[in-house]
């Protein structure tokens, strides 16, 4: 077994706000192997974006990490302790070097007054020793690779001259030009039309194969996850409630939240089935529930409801490495 590319252990992160210390991520641990696509699924307030940004140390200045939190990046057999990288020179490796990120809103990610080409070249020149011309050639090649027609011409255009889908492709091109080992994709297709989304997902899957890179795919759309991910991690209110392969999580979900989420989705193959939402509302992060973080909305707790309210569940690891944080699972013994 080769070492994982990224190893996150006990990541706990809070933000200092006017209303007090707000916990955004609570004791999250997971691993990402080279060449693997890990889907990070959660709704608003789940902490998925914050977790991803921690990998690149992009969280705001009022963020507070606990001492136990540890993120390890392993490149070419060398370990980097991400959370201890303080100086910009050290941080280069996680910001655009070995790790790249693409965002939901491509219009907001490109500087409006500089051409796309200029920004791609700038990125390349920061992370490598190539000349301007070499960088330009590589950038145009990447633009072709992501399926942008007339790339040489597009190279000199500005962000507003691209349509939504094209901008997203250009962003992928820019992110991949430094040949990162890990691509973090934060809701990359949420703002796109569904036909364009399908194109972009296909593109990403092809690139994973070609570049042998890993993707941390963050989204709330379980359908997209089912089509792209190898493994899935489900987050709720800052906690990681379930992790497993995509078949495990989608076909035999172990956590009541995952089950609730899957049940609330309208499915095209059964138009008569009623839509069953997860009852209640997501609690405010200022008001984190005691015990199991999901207990306020769980319909399956039954007679152990008291336990769910007071005790934090420990992770149950199933035989096939299907992990879940739930008293019901631990009650039932090893899966």
Partner 1 sequence: MTDTATIEATDASVDQSRKEAYFTAGQGQLIWARFKKQRAAMIGAGVLIFLVLSGIFASFLTPYDPTIAGRNADYQNGAPQIPKFWDENGFSARPFIYSYERTRSIETNFRWVSKINRDKRRYMVFFTEGDSYTLFGMEFNTHLFGVDEGKIHLFGTDGTGKDIFSRTFHSINTSLAVGTIGVLLAFVLALIIGGISGYYGGWIDSILQMVTDAVRTIPAIPLFMAIAAFIPATISSEGRFLIISIILGFIGWPTLARRVRTHLLTERNQEYVLAAQLCGASSSHIIGRHLLPSFTSYIIVDLIISFPYMVLSETALSFIGLGLKEPVNSLGVMLQNVTKADVLLNYQWNFIPVIFFITLVLAFVFVGDGLRDAADPYSDNKK
Partner 2 sequence: MSDILIRANNLSVHFPLRGLGFGERPVVRACEGINIEIEKGSFFGLVGESGSGKTTLGRAMLKAAPISHGEVLYDDGEVNYSLGDIGKNELKDYRTRAQLIFQDPYAALSPRMTVRDIIAEPLEVMGLTSSREETDARVREIAAMCRLNLEHLRRFPHAFSGGQRQRISIARALVSGPRFIVADESVAALDVSIQADVLNLLNKIQQESGITFLFISHDLSVIAHTCDFVAVMYLGQIVESAPTRKLFSETSHPYTRALLSAIPSLDPDVRGNAQKLEGEIPSPINPPPGCRFNTRCPHAQERCRSEVPEWRELSSGHHVACHFAEELS
Residues that bind partner 2 (CB under 8 A): 43-44, 163-166, 193-199, 201-202, 220-224, 226-227, 246-247, 250-251, 260-262, 264-268, 271, 273-278, 281-282, 284
Report in angstroms how near the CB of residue 287 gets to partner 1 at its nearest.
8
Q: How far is the CB of 201 from partner 1 (least distance, A)?
A: 25
- Phi, psi torsion values for 218, nearest 5 degrees: -100, 130
- Cβ proximity of 56 and 6 under 8 Å: no
Residue with token string 């997971």: 30
Terminal-residue alpha carbon distance, the chain? 23
Do 260 and 326 contact (CB within 8 A), yes or no? no
DSSP-assigned beta bridge partners for residue 324: 242, 316
Give least dist CB 38 to partner 2, A: 14
Q: Which does 290 bind (CB under 5 to 8 A by kind): partner 2, partner 1, none?
A: none
Return the number of the residue (252 or 290) whose C-beta is nearest partner 1.
Answer: 290
- Number of residues located near partner 1, criterion CB under 8 A: 3
Contacted entry of partner 1, partner 2, none for residue 271, CB cut-off 5 to 8 Å set by kind = partner 2
- Residue 35 in tokens: 């060449």
Least separation in angstroms between CB 209 and partner 1: 35
Q: Which helix (H) or strand (E) holds 136?
A: helix 132-145
| Alpha carbon distance 179, 166 (integer Å) | 20
d(CA 48, CA 31): 15
Cβ-based neighbours of 114, under 8 Å, separated by 6 or more:
158
18 binds, among partner 1, partner 2, none (CB under 5 to 8 A by kind): partner 1
- Work out whether 18 is an interface residue with partner 1 (CB under 8 A): yes
62 is a site residue for partner 1 (CB under 8 A): no
125: exposed, middle or buried (C-beta count within 10 Å: 0-12, 13-18, 19+)? Answer: middle
Q: Binding pattern to partner 1, positions 19-58, x when CB under 8 A?
A: -------------------------x--------------
In the region spanning residues 257 to 276, those forming contacts with partner 1, defined by CB under 8 A, are none
In whole angstroms, what is the distance from residue 335 CA to residue 319 CA? Answer: 6
Our finding on whether 310 is near partner 1 (CB under 8 A) is no
Instruction: Tell me which residues touch partner 1 (CB under 8 A).
Output: 18, 44, 287
């Amino acid at each position: 077994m080769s070492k994982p590319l990224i190893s996150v252990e006990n990541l706990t992160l809070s933000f200092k706000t006017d209303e007090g210390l707000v916990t955004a991520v609570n004791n999250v641990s997971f691993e990402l192997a080279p060449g693997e696509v890990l889907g990070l699924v959660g709704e608003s307030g789940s902490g998925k974006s914050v977790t991803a940004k921690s990998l690149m140390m992009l969280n705001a200045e009022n963020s507070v990490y606990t001492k136990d939190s540890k993120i390890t990046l392993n490149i070419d057999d060398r370990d980097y302790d991400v959370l201890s990288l303080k100086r910009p020179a050290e941080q280069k490796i996680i910001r655009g070097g070995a790790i790249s990120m693409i965002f939901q809103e491509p219009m907001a990610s490109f500087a409006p007054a500089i051409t796309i080409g200029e920004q791609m070249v700038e990125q390349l020149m920061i992370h490598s020793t190539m000349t301007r011309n070499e960088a330009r050639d590589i950038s145009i090649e990447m633009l072709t690779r992501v399926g942008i027609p007339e790339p040489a011409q597009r190279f000199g255009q500005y962000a507003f001259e691209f349509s939504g889908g094209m901008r997203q492709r250009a962003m992928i091109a820019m992110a991949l030009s430094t040949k990162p080992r890990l691509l973090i994709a934060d809701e990359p297709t949420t703002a796109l039309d569904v036909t364009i989304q399908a194109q972009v997902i296909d593109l990403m899957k092809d690139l994973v194969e070609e570049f042998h890179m890993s993707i941390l795919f963050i989204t709330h759309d379980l359908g997209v996850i089912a089509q792209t991910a190898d493994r899935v991690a489900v987050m709720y209110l800052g906690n990681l409630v379930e992790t497993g392969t995509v078949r495990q999580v989608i076909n035999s979900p172990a956590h009541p939240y995952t089950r609730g989420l899957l049940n609330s989705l309208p499915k095209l193959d059964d138009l008569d089935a009623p839509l069953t939402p997860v009852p209640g509302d997501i609690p405010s992060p200022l008001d984190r529930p005691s015990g199991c973080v999901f207990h306020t909305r769980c319909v399956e707790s039954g007679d152990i409801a008291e336990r769910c309210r007071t005790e934090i569940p420990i992770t149950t690891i199933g035989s096939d490495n299907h992990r879940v944080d739930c008293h019901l699972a631990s009650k039932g013994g090893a899966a």
